[in-house]
Amino acid sequence: MTKRTRSVALLVSLTALAAFSLAALARNLTSAQGPGDQQDANLLGTSAREQGQQYEVTITNLTRGQQFTPILVASHREGVSLFKLGEPVSPQLATLAEEGNTAPLAALLSGMPAVRDVVSGSGLTDPGKSVTLTFEATGAFDHFSVAAMLIPTNDAFFAINGVELPRGNNSLTLFSPAYDAGSERNDELCASIPGPSFTECGGPGGGGAPTGGEEGFAHIHAGIHGIGNLMPARRDWRNPVARIIVRRMR
Ligand SMILES: [Ca+2]
């Protein structure tokens, strides 16, 4: 075989190999678009989600006569805060603190790139009772926050405001005082406090309080003083009002 002949033969072989490779690639592409495609995508999605770490947070109501409304939990980067003491709260947190409605704050947080996961519980947590929620966090999204309203109050809430999650299998126990959102006057009147049936109100509470007289900034709540319908002997508290235990599940 001459040198030229060998070159041609080699070229033919390379061409055949390339054709075979292209055919195999084409088969793979066809396969990737076949019936198994959705399953593959699901597996990929599951795999991506599993890269996050799952945490369990248990919140206990430490008050004698206050219930917690549904509890919001979020994982996020360092620097995200639900509120700042001494400053006005966001309208979304005001709604949570005045009405027990987590939806506006959940929507706000969900739209933030610095937030990884937002979970809202359901139902009320009675004095002495606990509720457990699970959420995911990963990488730099290693902080979490918690918030829920105390009822019956005008705008009291407890919160964990951006705390670093425990590392490894360690659990972290935190306590929260009651905060006042500063967005509603504390008239302690049934007509101003939404919610279920309260003893002092003889039925469900009312709507929002009249505007005006709100304190204007988030602060430690001053408690129930008997200036309206609520009975301090039944509803007042001493801080802390909530115990929060968080630990990693996987
Ligand atoms: Ca207030």
pLDDT of residue 51: 67
Question: Lowest mean pLDDT: which of 111-120, 122-131, 206-215?
Answer: 206-215
What is the Å distance from ligand 1's center to 181 Cα? 6
User: What distance in angstroms lies between residue 67's CA and the mean position of ligand 1's atoms?
Assistant: 17
From the CB of residue 72, how many other CB atoms can be counted at a distance below 10 Å?
26
User: Distance, CA 154 to ligand 1 centroid (Å)?
Assistant: 6
Measured in angstroms, how far is the CA atom of residue 214 from the centroid of ligand 1?
6
Per the CB < 8 A criterion, the answer to whether 179 and 222 are in contact is: no
pLDDT at position 14: 37
For residue 10, the CA-to-ligand 1 centroid distance in Å is: 86
Residues 18 and 58 in one domain: no
Counting DSSP H helices and E strands in the chain, the numbers are 5, 13
The whole domain housing 183 covers 54-248
Query: Are residues 108 and 75 both part of a single domain?
Result: yes
The mean of the pLDDT values for the chain is 84
Span 148-175, average pLDDT: 97
40 DSSP β-pair partners: none
Residue type, position 213, single letter: G
Indicate if 129 and 175 belong to the same structural domain: yes
* Same domain, residue pair 131 and 213: yes
94 & 30 share domain: no
**Is the overall model pTM greater than 0.75, yes or no?**
yes
Work out the pLDDT band at 41, boundaries 50, 70, 90: very low
- Please give the tally of structural domains in the chain: 2
Give the CATH number, domain containing residue 214: 2.60.40.2130
Q: What is the whole-number distance in angstroms between the Cα of residue 98 and the centre of ligand 1? A: 9
The yes-or-no verdict on residue 107 having pLDDT over 90 is yes
- The answer to whether residues 18 and 133 belong to one domain is no
Which of 144, 156, 100, 115 lies closest to 245 in space, CA to CA?
144
Distance (angstroms) between ligand 1 centre and the Cα of 186 equals 5
Q: Quick: pLDDT tens for 5-16.
A: 344 343 334 333
| Residue 162 shares a structural domain with residue 91 | yes
C-alpha of residue 184 to centroid of ligand 1, in Å? 4
pLDDT top residue among 24 and 129: 129
Where residue 238 falls among pLDDT bands split at 50, 70, 90? very high
Same-domain status, 74 and 193: yes
